[in-house]
Amino acid sequence: MSEDHYRRLESMYLAAPCNEIYRPRITITEGSAEISFDVGPHLFHAARAVHGSAYFKAMDDAAFFAVNSLVEDVFVLTVTFNIYLLRSISEGEMVATGTVVNAGRTVWAAEATLSDDRGRQLGRGSGTFMRSRFALSEAMGYSGED
């Protein structure tokens, strides 16, 4: 795999409209991805801690991009994703790290961990991913430009 592919995936991720809410940071390497974002009240549920949907997004995205780092022609899709919410967070930074644990020709398995900026584990997740019919393209933000 190439560094150019990883940077294009990072651009694609950051260009996604849903990321305007989270303002994430991403780093992709072969079979691995790290996503982080700052915690704030815009992510809180009524008890003033980050809603579980943000946990899911961080871990699914990290696992997804770990897998897509190994697939250079098409967008992959999440087939299943299971999460364990272990600790709440209401300030600081969330950091999700995704790693491919099994690479097939059409289906991959990946795991993710979620921690706070003090290294405490907030959650764990695992999922399966498959090839889609959507070619990676500049139209979806897959480009070498910032």
In this prediction, residue 145 carries a pLDDT of 62
Tokens standing for 105?
Answer: 């020709």
- Residue 2 CB-density burial (10 A; 0-12 exposed, 13-18 middle, 19+ buried): exposed
Beta bridge partners of 96: 35, 114
Q: Residue 19 contacts by C-beta under 8 Å, 6 or more apart in sequence?
A: 13
Beta bridge partners of 77: 130
- Classify domain 3-140 by CATH architecture: Roll (3.10)
Instruction: Using pLDDT thresholds of 50, 70 and 90, give the confidence band for residue 143.
Output: confident
Instruction: Using pLDDT thresholds of 50, 70 and 90, give the confidence band for residue 146.
Output: low
Asked whether residue 60 carries a pLDDT value surpassing 90, the answer given is yes
C-alpha 31: how far from chain center: 12
Instruction: Using pLDDT thresholds of 50, 70 and 90, give the confidence band for residue 50.
Output: very high
Helix/strand/coil (H, E, C) string of 69-131? CCCCCEEEEEEEEEEEECCCCCCCEEEEEEEEEEECCCEEEEEEEEEECCCCEEEEEEEEEEE
Asked whether residue 64 carries a pLDDT value surpassing 90, the answer given is yes
In this prediction, residue 123 carries a pLDDT of 98
Q: Give the start-to-end residue ranges of the domains of the chain.
A: 3-140
In this prediction, residue 85 carries a pLDDT of 97
